[in-house]
């Protein structure tokens, strides 16, 4: 990486690659990650010029738009990273919060405390441009002495860890992993609609591609790899074709997850899937993970959404591989039981996907009318239905306001009924039951696609539960600098 200073004039830097001189480019500002992403584009508005350096020339990038000036001028320093044809400019800013002082001439806040926090995962410099920084102990001590009678302290510093997401889907696991200490650098999924949803809610780093065609060379180095390989091929909810050749091919996609982990060697990997993944074909697929990633300490457990603070009965197998010490998840946390009513009461017409709902036919609505809260198809008179004794219990299931929701797959197919209305759930209502908030927008060309994206995901409670334990393990073993 190349480190440069911020400037009020905009973004200007040079690189050695003279082949880029004269080429066109465009750029994207990723405000969430404080990055400027520069991408080659023959129709782009920017042109790479040249800069003379001794007897040679360098490729010069010069961007002066107001949006770029705003992000660059407010940054302490920037780092330029080349990732193939793409260039990422990372910007770093001093943390300016209440009760924080960052420079000696500033007035000490009323508490008399100096609290230093790290905003990025970079090395803490003792000197910057020849001058001591607040991370220099001698300089900090002299600063303390210049304010007699005041009290100062330094706060624990945080490292930022890079994360790669495989089989990203609509990004429900990634959304749960969003944290100041995690920076997503890559994601991949083959579903165009899911990628659009991911891009809207998480970031532009998602690549729409079949993972079987993804080379490890195009995946950035990282600290953590997370993902949920196709679960439909393992799930008992997919009874009709679970043993077909097509399902077997989907199950073998786990080999591509293993392949990329093997070649990128992250500190930790996380796989989430349906519990049946642990036992399908006598444990054939979990064995692939243990056998091919033996350099990791691997643990597996089944976590229930309700047991970790969620609204549903959904269970997920969580497989964790670690090179920094075994990470074992508890099976539950102490939580007040949350209900369907708590989740649905958050949803109103201002939610983005509240109007996305499959409306029932008259006969379907008639069947729904017979089902009480907590009931199912068995409450419908036999004279108006043709269900047999092997019908799944969630068929025509009406949610109970005071209970938990059953596992949400594609709730349209089983006809999961709203607690008080004769219709199925809207996409927003299903998202709320999965623990998503109003900010999450589900995109897609069809209603079925939007429903499936939610049904394929992991709940936010399970995702956050896993994130917490992963982050704790990383912080315990990383070179985090601490001051008494």
Q: What is the pLDDT of residues 431-468, one digit of tens each?
A: 999 999 999 999 999 999 999 999 999 999 999 999 99
Q: Find the range with the poorest average confidence among 70-74, 140-144, 246-250.
A: 246-250
Q: Identify the residue with better confidence: 479 or 334.
A: 334
Q: Give 403-430 pLDDT, tens digit per residue.
A: 999 999 889 999 999 999 999 999 999 9
Interstrand relation of 49-53 and 131-132 (parallel, antiparallel or unpaired) = unpaired
Residue 226 phi/psi, 5-degree rounding, is: -125, 160
Distance from the Cα of residue 330 to its chain's centroid: 22
Per-residue confidence (pLDDT) for residue 53, from 0 to 100 = 84
Q: Give 374-387 pLDDT, tens digit per residue.
A: 999 999 999 998 88
Task: Decide if pLDDT at 315 tops 90.
Answer: yes
Task: Decide if pLDDT at 233 tops 90.
Answer: no
Q: Find the range with the poorest average confidence among 80-84, 310-314, 417-421, 458-462.
A: 80-84
Confidence at 95, pLDDT banded by 50, 70, 90: very low
Q: Give 171-202 pLDDT, tens digit per residue.
A: 999 999 999 899 999 999 999 999 999 999 99
Confidence at 112, pLDDT banded by 50, 70, 90: very low
Q: Find the range with the poorest average confidence among 37-41, 125-129, 232-236, 449-453.
A: 232-236
Q: Residue 86: helix, strand or coil by DSSP?
A: strand
Does domain 161-336+459-477 fall into CATH 3.40.50.1820? no
Hey, how many other C-beta atoms are within 10 angstroms of the C-beta on 83? 13
Residue 417 carries which DSSP code?
B
Q: What is the mean pLDDT of the chain?
A: 84
Query: Hey, what are 429's tokens?
Result: 């209502």
Question: Where are the alpha helices (H) located in 252-372, listed in sequence order?
Answer: 254-264, 280-292, 340-344, 362-369
Per-domain boundaries in the chain: 2-92, 96-155, 161-336+459-477
Residue 421 to residue 368: CA distance in whole angstroms: 9
Per-residue confidence (pLDDT) for residue 389, from 0 to 100 = 86
Query: Hey, what are 419's tokens?
Result: 């607690």
Task: Decide if pLDDT at 99 tops 60.
Answer: no
Residues near 88 by Cβ (< 8 Å), separated by ≥ 6? 35, 36, 37, 38, 80, 81
Give the mean pLDDT of 278-299: 88
Per-residue confidence (pLDDT) for residue 93, from 0 to 100 = 62
Confidence at 235, pLDDT banded by 50, 70, 90: very low
Query: Look-up: residue for tokens 């219709």?
Result: 423
Q: Find the range with the poorest average confidence among 12-16, 309-313, 346-350.
A: 12-16
Task: Decide if pLDDT at 246 tops 70.
Answer: no
């Amino acid at each position: 990486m190349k480190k440069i200073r911020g400037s009020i004039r905009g973004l200007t830097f040079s690189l050695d690659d003279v082949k880029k001189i004269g080429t066109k480019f465009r750029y994207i500002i990723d405000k969430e990650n404080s990055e400027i992403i520069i991408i080659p584009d023959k129709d782009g508005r920017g042109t790479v010029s040249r800069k003379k350096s001794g007897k040679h020339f360098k490729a010069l990038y010069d961007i002066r738009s107001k949006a770029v000036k705003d992000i660059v001028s407010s940054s302490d320093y920037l780092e330029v990273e080349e990732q193939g044809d793409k260039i990422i400019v990372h910007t770093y800013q001093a943390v300016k919060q209440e009760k924080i002082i960052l420079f000696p001439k500033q007035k000490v806040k009323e508490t008399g405390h100096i609290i230093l926090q790290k905003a990025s995962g970079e090395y803490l410099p003792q000197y910057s441009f020849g001058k001591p920084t607040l991370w220099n102990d001698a300089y900090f001590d002299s600063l303390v002495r210049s304010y007699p009678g005041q009290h100062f302290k330094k706060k624990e510093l945080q490292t930022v860890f890079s994360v790669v997401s495989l089989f990203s889907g609509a990004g429900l696991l990634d959304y749960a992993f969003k944290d100041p200490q995690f920076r997503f650098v890559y994601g991949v999924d083959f579903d165009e609609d899911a990628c659009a949803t991911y891009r809207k809610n998480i970031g532009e780093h998602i690549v729409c591609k079949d993972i079987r065609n993804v080379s490890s060379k195009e995946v950035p180095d990282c600290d953590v790899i997370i993902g949920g390989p196709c679960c439909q091929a393992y799930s008992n909810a997919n009874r009709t074709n679970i043993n077909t050749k097509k399902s077997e091919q989907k199950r073998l996609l786990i080999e591509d997850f293993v392949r990329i982990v093997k070649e990128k060697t992250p500190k930790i990997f996380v796989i989430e899937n349906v519990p049946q993944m642990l036992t399908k074909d006598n444990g054939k697929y979990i064995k692939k993970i243990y056998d091919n990633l033996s350099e990791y300490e691997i643990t597996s457990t089944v976590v229930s959404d309700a047991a970790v603070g969620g609204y549903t009965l959904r269970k997920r197998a969580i497989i964790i591989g670690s090179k920094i010490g075994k990470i074992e998840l508890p099976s539950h946390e102490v939580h007040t039981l949350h209900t369907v009513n708590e989740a649905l009461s958050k949803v109103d017409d201002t939610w983005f996907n509240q109007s996305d709902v499959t409306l029932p036919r008259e006969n379907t609505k008639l069947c729904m009318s017979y089902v009480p809260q907590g009931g199912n198809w068995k409450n419908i008179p036999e004279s108006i239905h043709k269900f047999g004794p092997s019908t799944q219990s969630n068929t025509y299931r009406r949610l109970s306001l005071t209970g938990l929701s059953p596992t949400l797959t594609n709730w349209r197919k089983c006809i999961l009924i709203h607690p008080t209305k004769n219709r199925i759930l809207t996409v927003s209502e299903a998202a709320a039951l999965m623990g998503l908030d109003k900010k999450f927008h589900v995109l897609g060309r069809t209603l079925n696609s939007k429903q499936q994206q939610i049904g394929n995901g992991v709940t936010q409670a399970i995702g956050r539960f896993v994130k917490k334990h992963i982050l704790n393990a990383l912080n315990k073993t990383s070179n985090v600098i601490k001051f008494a």
